[in-house]
């Protein structure tokens, strides 16, 4: 058995070798485990017979990677020599490279491609700040973990622009890089590059992700070199109509053959692409978790449409172009209200409306359904009835003012009722109500009651009551019990520290066999009265400014200055209030513990002689 084959399941300087991943003319790549840390790693080996310039590049790659410490760059753990060979030990990333992702999707959805480019840009920004230019940015050198993390790797031909040693390593006229991703200046000379060269290569990657093909071929032919230097390529939107004009312009700027017409640096591009992503996603980091679900083996994968660019924006742009500003505003509002109420209320009126989605799932065809949303005064705010042969029906983006409602669904011979707490979109985002229709084989009229707190967790220590339409007093209701059908009922759920929840006026026809009730109890938030502030005070609550506008917590407010009596509401917990007045050089902190339903007064007294603020809780 030769020396190299013995590397299988053997050791190299404290690393257990698990197997060989790849082999080239001058080196090999192994997967191994650090024995002391029990951490999986990659060992990159340069064989002893490699020319001196290869050794110098290998050593330089390790030196450069040692300087970079960033979540979007593969981490270097070690560099050493063993048996006349050199080794680099790097972080092992379980997952894929970007080439595999492009093959998997064909065309990567718009916002997913932008997220990947944004994460690559963060890694490049760190490298560029240290004057390190990668020079070989391509999909094969972008790793994507099973957790959705994006990491740059292979700094084999990277160089530090401030070092003179590049002269000895890169001979004049030598070409280093991968042709399809090389900028015009890099083709002219691998030394005549700066950070905008990496930016150009990132533009090629974005083009490839969105179109599924490279803008240029991967060969050093005269025709290809001329095309690269002239920027002659197929228009991106001719290959993918879903690419918005804004993003198309961003990529065209990155791929400009004249580097002085590209973005000045990777940071400028990062800000532009971040702004584009934030137009749809409030939190860019949330994309990572969805990406992980998308590329993993799990069954509950997010819908790819979630990462597409919305056609709403295209329509709004056209309206703005052909109408006067006032007319365009009215047309846009009517258009959004009719076709995209979710956009209208979530973006324009986030604190005045809540958005609700209703899912109806049946194990048979739904056929006829009748659904309505009413408040406790029996006023109808939404109703929908119809026929469908589907087994799942979604009624999306129903806009409701913050309040407590009940949702009634009549389907076949059964009625389903659920309590609904609609908070403002700004407070809790979109709310979803699920109806799962099951064939419950019960005799006569059976009531099934479920009680949850407003976060969806089962509520403990609660009591249930019912009364018929002719009764004034309440009767105890068990979680499962039979009642007489053919009459009207009111139902109530109570629990200490919560508002009572009611489902009233439910008509039970004689043929009805069952009723499923869902109650959602709203916690009574603590009430805090801030009284007698003799001087203007800046204030913070647990380091922030957010509080609740009412005891039910349906709306969120913000307070930074206190100049008169103010009442706020807070969830149970311990709070630190910080009060200060910079002009008078006053700063005072006060801690208070609040339980559900508490009402506390904070009294302020200002001692002018000693310039001291006193706070008392009652």
390 vs 283: CA distance, rounded Å: 34
Strand partners, 95: 145
H or E element at residue 123:
helix 110-129
618 closest CA partner among 598, 588, 596? 598
494 vs 468: CA distance, rounded Å: 18
Strand partners, 323: none
Three-state helix/strand/coil letters over 363-417:
CCCCEEEEEEEEECCCCEEEEEEEEECCCEEEEEEEEECCEEEEEEEEECCEEEE
Strand partners, 368: 387
505 vs 421: CA distance, rounded Å: 18
Q: Cβ of 42: how many Cβ atoms within 10 Å?
A: 18
Q: Supply the Cα-derived Rg of the chain in whole angstroms.
A: 32
Identify whether the C-beta of residue 536 lies closer than 8 Å to the C-beta of residue 564. Answer: no
Those residues with Cβ within 8 angstroms of residue 549's Cβ, 6 or more apart along the chain or in another chain: 555, 556, 557, 569
Q: Which residue has the tokens 């990491």?
A: 151
Task: Classify residue 354 as exposed, middle or buried by CB count within 10 Å of its CB (0-12, 13-18, 19+).
Answer: buried
Q: Which residue has the tokens 């080239």?
A: 24
Identify whether the C-beta of residue 501 lies closer than 8 Å to the C-beta of residue 383. Answer: no
Residue 283: active-site member: no
Q: Cβ of 496: how many Cβ atoms within 10 Å?
A: 10
281 vs 291: CA distance, rounded Å: 13
Strand partners, 281: none
Beta strands in 475-564 (DSSP E): 475-476, 480-483, 487-494, 501-508, 514-521, 526-531, 537-541, 546-548, 556-558, 561-562
30 vs 7: CA distance, rounded Å: 9
23 vs 44: CA distance, rounded Å: 10
Task: Classify residue 598 as exposed, middle or buried by CB count within 10 Å of its CB (0-12, 13-18, 19+).
Answer: middle
Please give the structure tokens belonging to residue 62.
């390790």
Q: What are phi and psi of 389, to 5 degrees?
A: -100, 10
Q: What torsion do the CA atoms of 13, 18, 24, 26 make, to the nearest 10 degrees?
A: 10
- What is the CB-side half-sphere exposure of residue 585 using CA atoms within 13 A? 2
Identify whether the C-beta of residue 176 lies closer than 8 Å to the C-beta of residue 187. Answer: no
220 vs 216: CA distance, rounded Å: 11
Considering 78, 84, 136, 454, which one is annotated as catalytic? Answer: 136
The residues carrying an active-site annotation are 136
């Amino acid at each position: 058995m030769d020396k190299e084959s013995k590397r299988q399941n053997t050791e190299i300087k404290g690393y257990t070798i698990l197997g060989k991943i790849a082999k080239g003319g001058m080196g090999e790549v192994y997967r191994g485990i650090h024995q002391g840390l029990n951490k999986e790693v990659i060992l990159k080996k340069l064989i002893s017979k490699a020319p001196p310039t290869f050794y110098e590049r290998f050593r330089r790659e390790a030196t450069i990677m040692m300087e970079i410490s960033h979540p979007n760059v593969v981490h270097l753990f070690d560099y050493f020599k063993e048996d006349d060979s050199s080794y680099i030990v790097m972080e092992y990333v379980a997952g894929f490279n970007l080439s595999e992702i492009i093959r998997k999707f064909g065309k990567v959805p718009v916002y997913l491609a932008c997220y990947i480019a944004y994460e690559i840009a963060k890694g490049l920004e760190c490298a560029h700040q240290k004057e390190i230019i990668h020079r070989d940015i391509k999909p094969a050198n972008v790793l994507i973990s099973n957790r959705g993390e994006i990491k740059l790797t292979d700094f084999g031909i990277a160089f530090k622009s401030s070092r003179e040693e590049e002269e000895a390593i890169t001979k004049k006229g030598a070409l280093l890089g991968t042709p399809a991703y090389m900028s015009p200046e890099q083709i002219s000379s691998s030394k005549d590059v700066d950070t905008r060269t990496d930016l150009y290569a990132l533009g090629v990657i974005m083009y490839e992700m969105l179109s599924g093909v490279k803008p240029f071929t991967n060969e050093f032919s005269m025709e290809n070199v001329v095309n690269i230097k002239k920027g002659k390529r197929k228009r991106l939107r001719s290959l993918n109509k879903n690419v918005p004009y804004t993003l198309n312009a961003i990529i065209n700027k990155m791929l400009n053959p004249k580097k002085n017409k590209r973005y000045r640096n990777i940071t400028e591009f990062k800000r532009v692409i971040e702004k584009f992503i934030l137009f749809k996603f409030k939190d860019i980091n949330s994309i990572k978790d969805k990406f992980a679900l998308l590329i993993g083996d799990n069954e509950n994968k997010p819908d790819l449409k979630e990462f597409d660019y919305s056609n709403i924006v295209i329509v709004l742009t056209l309206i703005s172009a052909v109408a006067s500003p006032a007319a365009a505003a009215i047309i846009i509002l009517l258009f959004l209200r009719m076709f995209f109420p979710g956009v209208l209320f979530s973006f324009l009126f986030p604190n005045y409306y809540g958005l609700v989605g209703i899912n109806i799932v049946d194990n048979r065809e739904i056929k006829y359904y009748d659904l309505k949303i009413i408040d406790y005064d029996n006023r109808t705010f939404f109703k929908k009835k119809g026929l469908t042969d589907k087994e799942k029906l979604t009624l999306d983006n129903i806009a409701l003012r913050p309040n407590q409602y009940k949702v009634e669904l009549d389907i076949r011979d059964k009625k389903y009722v659920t309590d609904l707490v609609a908070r403002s979109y700004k407070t809790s985002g979109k709310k979803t109500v699920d109806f799962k229709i099951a064939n419950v084989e019960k005799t006569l009229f059976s009531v099934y009651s479920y009680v949850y707190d407003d976060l969806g967790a089962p509520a403990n220590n609660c009591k249930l009551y019912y009364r018929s339409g002719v009764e004034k007093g309440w009767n105890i209701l068990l979680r499962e019990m039979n009642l007489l059908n053919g009459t009207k009922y009111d139902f109530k759920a109570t629990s200490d520290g919560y508002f009572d929840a009611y489902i009233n006026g439910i008509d039970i026809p004689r043929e009805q066999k069952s009723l499923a009730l869902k109650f959602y109890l709203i916690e009574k938030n603590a009430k805090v009265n801030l009284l007698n502030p003799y001087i203007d005070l800046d204030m913070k609550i647990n380091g922030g400014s957010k509080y609740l506008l009412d005891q039910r917590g349906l709306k969120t407010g913000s307070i930074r200055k206190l100049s008169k009596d103010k009442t706020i509401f807070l969830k149970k917990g311990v709070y630190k209030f910080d009060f200060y007045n910079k002009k008078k050089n006053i700063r005072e902190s006060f801690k208070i513990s609040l339980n559900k339903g508490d009402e506390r007064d904070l009294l302020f007294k200002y001692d002018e002689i000693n310039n001291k603020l006193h706070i008392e809780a009652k």
